[in-house]
Amino acid sequence: MTPDRIREQLRQARRASGLVWVRFSAGAGYAESYLRNVENGNRALTADVVAAYDEVLGTGGRFTRLLQDCRNSAGWELPQNLALLGGLADGRGRMLRRDFIAATAALTVSVTSWARACLQMSCPHQE
């Protein structure tokens, strides 16, 4: 499962619910524009956002489990977050501070996860 596939499943489930964006975003606790950007791949797919989809749609944690399984795949977030970080300039070469902080935090988690996965693959497990 890839992040893009999870995004597509989030979109499909939201549409199938019949909830209009205003009600869905209010129930999720996020701005409509933010959730649209998550679904379109312009914002990071976070555990909090996925949990909000699970809550509003009543999926019993299905999307949270999909995201966790995806994150357990070595380094899946690293390229995604590097691209996100690179796209935060406002068109004049300035970085939007709020977005930069969020993206660097996500990137830090991604690098840590990637390094941990690499170590697990290269080191035999000790029991």
Q: Per this entry, what is the length of the chain?
A: 127
Write out pLDDT tens, residues 20-67.
999 999 999 999 999 999 998 888 888 899 999 999 999 999 999 998
**What amino acid is encoded at 71 in this protein?**
R
Given this model, what pLDDT does residue 67 score?
A: 87
Helix (H, G, I), strand (E, B) or coil at 95: strand
Write out pLDDT tens, residues 103-116.
676 667 666 666 66
CA distances from 69 to 1, 56, 94, 103 (A): 8, 21, 35, 21
| Same-domain pairing of 86 and 60 | no
Q: What is the rounded distance in angstroms from the CA atom of residue 46 to the CA atom of residue 50?
A: 6
Number of domains in the chain: 2
Q: Model-level pTM?
A: 0.60
Given this model, what pLDDT does residue 125 score?
A: 42
What are the beta bridge partners of residue 89? 95
| Same-domain pairing of 7 and 58 | yes
The more confident residue out of 31 and 92 is: 31
- Does 64 reside within a domain? yes
- Does 127 reside within a domain? no
Confidence band of 126 (pLDDT split at 50, 70, 90):
very low
Q: What is the rounded distance in angstroms from the CA atom of residue 3 to the CA atom of residue 50?
A: 11
Domain boundary (56, 71, 86) is at 71
- Does 19 reside within a domain? yes
The more confident residue out of 9 and 88 is: 9
| Same-domain pairing of 67 and 88 | no
CA distances from 31 to 9, 56, 84 (A): 19, 14, 19
